[in-house]
Amino acid sequence: MNTARLLDVAISGNFESLNREIRDGVLISLEHKTPSRNCILHVAAKSGQAQIMERVLDSLYPHSPLYATNCKGNTALHIAASLGHLGISELLITCATDQEAEVKQLLLKAQNEELNTALHLAVKHGHDDIVDLLIRKEPDFVRKMLDKFPNAIMKADVFGWTPPHYAAYFGNFEVVRLFSENNNISLAYERDIQGMSALHNSAMEGHCDVMSAIIEKFPYTCELLDNRGRTALHLAAESGRTKAVKILLSSLAFQDLINEQENDEGNTAMHLDAIKRR
């Protein structure tokens, strides 16, 4: 089997050509790599063709490290998540799960040189379906991470976002509930590089169940201001999230903050609504 040819046909996305290169019973090694240290998994992920990845995974040597990294520290899952290849992401996670639980955990929590996990990249590039796959459908993984690595969930990416920021932004009530059950108060009060907390994120997106869960467990998150001096109410009002505004207005912890003014223009939440003619 010509390894260089195999890498070429994999990236081309030509399934028939790949089948000709991989003869029945022939196993593929991850040792052969491109100048950027991409192995066949990385190349298959780039192709965007789920059947290419499926054929590669079926032909790998047993227990091949699915979390193998390239020169930038990216796994194949990093690449699939950043490019929006949902089917390939599902195949990688399923294959890792079939090997053993530890392989799945190593794949999901792997960080590249910029400290991004596959989840970070899916969010960064706006691939909501992959975010759903990585976080919404993996609550057991999140729970195990909380139990085994309580400090790991505080690690932020280059934007200062922690897993609670992502869960709140996408309205993942189950994951937010797991974080709140952890009783780590600093989780709720952690802010990103713009000063935004998980409550800010959920209010901006109008995820009322998530907001209620955060406020009930950590009521004084209502007092958090972002770098522009905005409360969660400012964000909810500015985004036109009527139900979110109602929740904040009814919260006892928010009663003295209703007329809080932001730094830039001195606007209250009502000013922002008036400006947008709501």
Sorted by where each starts, the structural domains of the chain and their CATH numbers stand as 1-137 (1.25.40.20), 139-278 (1.25.40.20)
pLDDT in tens, the chain (278 residues): 567 777 777 777 777 777 777 776 667 888 888 888 999 999 999 999 899 899 889 888 888 889 999 999 999 999 999 999 999 999 999 888 888 767 887 888 888 998 888 887 887 777 878 877 887 556 555 655 555 555 555 677 778 888 788 888 888 787 787 777 765 667 788 899 999 999 999 999 999 999 999 998 888 888 898 998 888 988 898 888 989 988 988 888 777 666 666 656 666 655 555 556 56
What is the rounded CA–CA span in Å between residue 83 and residue 171? 23
Type and span of the H or E element at 79:
helix 76-83
CB atoms within 10 A of CB 2: 9
* Token pair belonging to 186: 């600093």
Provide the pLDDT for residue 20: 76
Quick check: helix, strand or coil at residue 60?
strand
Please, are residues 48 and 88 in contact by the beta-carbon 8 Å criterion? yes
219-239 pLDDT, tens digit each: 888 889 899 888 898 889 888
pTM, to two decimals: 0.57
Provide the pLDDT for residue 143: 59
Taking the alpha carbons at both ends of the chain, their separation in whole angstroms is 66
Q: Return the HEC string of 119-133.
A: HHHHHHCCCHHHHHH
Provide the pLDDT for residue 7: 79
Provide the pLDDT for residue 139: 57
